[in-house]
């Protein structure tokens, strides 16, 4: 009996340290606009790269309460992201849907004091209703390709997947201009990058969890399903560990080359094992907040040609759906292991009325760093491969994901 009791106690402690957060997948903002027949009209009034780039910087420059001497950070597109999870802030709990984004490090949600149309269409945080809220008073700002987000900072109790972190720094947005936020299905963003990416002072969410010792290990992992819809989650974020039932074969560990983004060295990119990009190696970031796979403009345009994709006047690259089965494989070499995507993995099939359209899962974006231009391995890549983010040993792990 004593032995059974000890086993139950160990099981209970271990279970509480592994936190599962179900993920939901929705149509991207670009897909919404296309389905509504207004994508081309929308892009006339907004810079096309609003879907491609996110700029983050302190706002307004020179404000004494903000961190000074910080240059802007460029991150790739969470505004077109598709996967989000549920969190709550405050006591009693106030619920929000957030993009779980390894390409940024801040947590923010709309404020009840927000004056923008976007906030009126989303759940808003009511600080005056939370008994555990602590006002900070400092401002923060994040600049986007077609506008910017302004807010104030605070601290409160955060709950995610049954786990509770106290005194979590976060932002309350009070101004969200532009139509993109209006169309977004999520309320805010929860960043899972390193503290050097953060604009909101204090510990990012996972750093706070590690400091409060509420996760079993300094590790979190993502599983993104290819199947959308239905009653079951479309993916899972596991805080504190790895779920061996969600992938096949061993995990390949790749050391980080920089601690801001989850940045790693990529050995090469090849098409059908012949045409190679960055043959002497280049840098890549593993980013759950990005829908597509992105690379430098010149490389991306050549890659589109090699897979038979043709550009449209709205920035999309179309593929003939009847040719998908004959398109070449694209392989990313990482840590000495080849990660191959077939056309079924990198072609996005969408219905427009009764017509099926096939879109390329690759996109051009130029992000220049001291280590060279970055590639971004977004959800098109991560749906194929289970991803592990290890803060303790500063590495990323990849294995072939199981799919239904």
Query: Which amino acids are annotated catalytic?
Result: 101, 287
Strand order in the sheet with 310-311: 310-311, 317-319, 355-360, 347-352
**How far, in Å, CA of 244 to CA of 11, rounded?**
17
Contact 268, 278 (CB under 8 A): yes
**C-alpha R_g of the chain:** 21
Measuring CA to CA, which residue among 123, 401, 49 is closest to residue 242? Answer: 401
CB burial of 114-123 (b: ≥16 within 10 Å; e: otherwise) equals: bebebbeebb
**How far, in Å, CA of 278 to CA of 134, rounded?**
48
Measuring CA to CA, which residue among 46, 29, 22, 49 is closest to residue 365? Answer: 49
Beta bridge partners of 349: 358
Please state the length of the chain: 404
The CA-to-CA distance between both ends of the chain, in Å, stands at 40
Contact 214, 382 (CB under 8 A): no
Tokens of 286: 């593993």
Distances (CA, A) of 135 to 61, 125, 138, 152, 172: 22, 13, 9, 9, 10
**How far, in Å, CA of 217 to CA of 212, rounded?**
12
Contact 287, 99 (CB under 8 A): no
If you ran DSSP here, which 8-state letter would residue 309 be given? -
Contact 210, 67 (CB under 8 A): no
């Amino acid at each position: 009996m004593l032995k059974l009791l000890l086993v139950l106690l160990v099981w209970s402690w271990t279970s509480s340290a592994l936190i599962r957060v179900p993920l939901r997948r929705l149509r991207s903002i670009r897909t919404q606009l296309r389905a509504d027949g207004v994508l081309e009209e929308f892009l006339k009034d907004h810079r096309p790269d609003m879907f491609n780039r996110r700029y983050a910087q302190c706002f307004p420059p020179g404000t004494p309460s903000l961190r000074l001497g910080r240059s802007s950070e460029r991150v790739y597109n969470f505004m077109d992201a598709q996967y989000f999870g549920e969190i709550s802030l405050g006591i009693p709990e106030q619920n929000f849907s957030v993009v779980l984004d390894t390409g940024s490090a801040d947590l923010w949600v709309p404020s009840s004091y927000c004056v923008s149309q976007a906030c009126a269409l989303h759940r808003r945080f009511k600080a005056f209703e939370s008994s555990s809220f602590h006002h900070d008073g400092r401002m923060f700002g994040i600049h986007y390709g077609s506008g910017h987000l302004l807010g104030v900072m605070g601290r409160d109790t955060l709950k995610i997947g049954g786990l509770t972190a106290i005194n979590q720094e976060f932002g309350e947005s009070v101004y969200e201009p532009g139509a993109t936020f209006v169309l977004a299905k999520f309320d805010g963003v929860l960043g899972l990058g390193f503290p050097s990416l953060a604009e909101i002072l204090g510990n990012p969410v996972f750093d706070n969890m590690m400091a409060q010792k509420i996760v079993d290990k300094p590790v979190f992992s993502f599983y993104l399903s290819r199947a959308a819809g239905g009653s079951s989650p479309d993916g899972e974020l596991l805080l504190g560990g790895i779920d061996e039932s969600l992938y096949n074969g061993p995990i390949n560990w790749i050391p980080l080359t920089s601690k801001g983004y989850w940045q790693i060295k990529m050995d090469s990119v090849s098409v059908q094992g012949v045409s190679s990009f960055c043959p002497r190696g280049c840098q890549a970031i593993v980013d759950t907040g990005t829908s597509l796979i992105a690379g430098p403009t010149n490389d991306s345009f050549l890659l589109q040609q090699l897979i038979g994709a043709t550009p449209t006047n709205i920035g999309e690259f179309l593929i003939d759906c009847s040719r998908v089965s004959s398109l070449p494989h694209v392989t990313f070499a990482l840590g000495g292991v080849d990660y191959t995507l077939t056309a079924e993995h990198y072609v996005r099939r969408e219905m427009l009325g009764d017509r099926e359209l096939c879109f390329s899962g690759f996109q051009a974006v130029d992000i220049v760093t001291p280590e060279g231009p970055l590639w971004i391995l977004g959800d098109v890549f991560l749906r194929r491969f289970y991803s592990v983010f290890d803060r303790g040993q500063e590495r990323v792990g990849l294995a072939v994901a199981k799919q239904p």
